[in-house]
Amino acid sequence: MFKLSHFAADVTPPLGHGLLAGVIEPAREIIDPLFAHGIVLSGAGSPIVIVGVDWCEIRNDAHERWRLVLAEAAGTVPERVLVSSLHQHDTPVMDLEAQRLLDEQGLAGLFCDPEFNERTLSHVAAALRDSLSSARAVTHIGTGQARVENVASNRRVETPDGRVSFDRSAIVPEAEFRALPEGLIDPWLKTLSFWDGDEPLAAVSCFAVHPITYYGQGQVSSDYVGLARARRQQDLPAVAQVYLTGCAGDVVAGKYNDGNPANRPVLAERVYTAMREAWETTRKQPLDRIDVRNVPLDLPLRSSPGFTQENQQKELRDPALPNSTRALAATGLSWWKRHGDGKRLDIPVVDFGSARLLLLPGETFVQYQLWAQRMRPDLFVIAVGYGDCAPGYVPTRQATADGFDQRRRSIKTWMWADPERSEEAMLTALAEAMEVEGAPGNWRRKT
């Protein structure tokens, strides 16, 4: 018999804590609290944990630590723990090795506070352990989806004069720029629900978009997706609401967001509406299997000029550079150390028979999500992004050819895997995750 328990814990940083890896103002004000929401599934071998965290990113050794501690709390192994960040920007980025390197340069606390991470993780683990005593039988799963209207748009734009750029960010003040087409997105919010007979227990919803309306002034917030999730929780108090961000590396709200704070409740309403409609269209079926597999993923290191280990060590140690640049160099060096230690990424895949949930690393581009769905049109596929965020952006080969890599330095640096070679590794791993045969090139058709 399968069972499910759900847990939630506050993960709000203290005032003064670094946000977005130290490249913006630290926490000055708490607009609304941050949470980790998750479920534990048991009855199919060792328990399975799926958790979404209201942090920008959890990467490298910090992600490894989260999986290990939550695995111990659940009585399972780290490979069966799926930890995903929602990627709101006015929230922490956690990378313990990066902060250790900054500590050596006299920059304590610039990136993150490892003690805060450990305290928070302890609270989340305690909430998980406490939830196990109230686990409920799960007899059915439900699947539902709904279009999210006027929220998502691709970073890539083609201007009337034929110029291609990736300059559409999460905030677009220029009306003429916002008027350009949405571009490539996945418009569907998907909800996977768990039931004990006719009684719903939990809903896991996922949509691919950067959850950002405005940021950078130290105002901690779960942003519009957090507001939408909280409202659904009010609608259904007995049904645990877990929200996850899809593969949104190149998907933002910029077409519908000029940075005005008034847009936050508007975008929240649109996501909430889709969550409600996905629930209303849910189809239930008996749950007779839950399997977990872990597909190895070896994303190649980026070692082009400016991204070698020596380049980044020089930047880290240069006190004349902005602290934000040194923090990004520490992040790149953390990824280099991970490779040097022989540690690779993995794609956890949870197979529910007719539905499949997989967790991809970093800021994976939406095309990979669409490719995964195309590989198995017979399944309800939920592709979640922002697992281990170590590689940063994971663009497609076409996006790289179109100039994604030529953006301003702060964005360009947020990519530590080789953009020329990552697509082959990603498609090979996706094909294994989705259990399809054929060369990776078979999936490169236009969406």
Total domains in the chain come to 1
- How confident is the prediction for the chain on average, in pLDDT? 95
Q: What confidence tens digit (pLDDT) does each residue in 158-207 have? A: 988 888 989 899 999 999 889 999 999 999 999 999 999 999 999 999 99
Does residue 280 sit within a domain? yes
How far is residue 235 CA from its own chain's centroid?
A: 25
- Report the largest interatomic distance among the alpha carbons of the chain, rounded to a whole angstrom: 63
Does residue 441 sit within a domain? no
Does residue 228 sit within a domain? yes
Structure tokens at 399: 């996006």
Per-residue HEC secondary structure of 46-102 comes to: CCEEEEEECCCEECHHHHHHHHHHHHHHHCCCHHHEEEEECCCCCCCEECHHHHHHH
- The residue-averaged pLDDT of 48-65 equals 98
Of 67, 68, 74, which Cα lies nearest the Cα of 3? Answer: 74
Does residue 98 sit within a domain? yes
Structure tokens at 424: 């082959």
SS3 helix, strand, coil % of the chain, rounded to 5?
Answer: 35, 25, 40
Does residue 188 sit within a domain? yes
Q: What confidence tens digit (pLDDT) does each residue in 198-257 have? A: 999 999 999 999 999 999 999 999 999 999 999 999 999 999 999 999 999 999 999 999
pTM for this structure? Answer: 0.96
Does residue 332 sit within a domain? no
Does residue 417 sit within a domain? yes
Q: Measured between alpha carbons, how far is 136 from 443 in angstroms, rounded to an integer?
A: 40
Does residue 113 sit within a domain? yes
SS3 call for 297: strand
Q: Residue 276's domain spans which residues?
A: 2-294+342-435
Would you state the pLDDT for residue 446? 44
Q: What confidence tens digit (pLDDT) does each residue in 381-434 have? A: 999 999 999 999 999 999 999 988 765 544 557 999 999 899 999 999 999 999
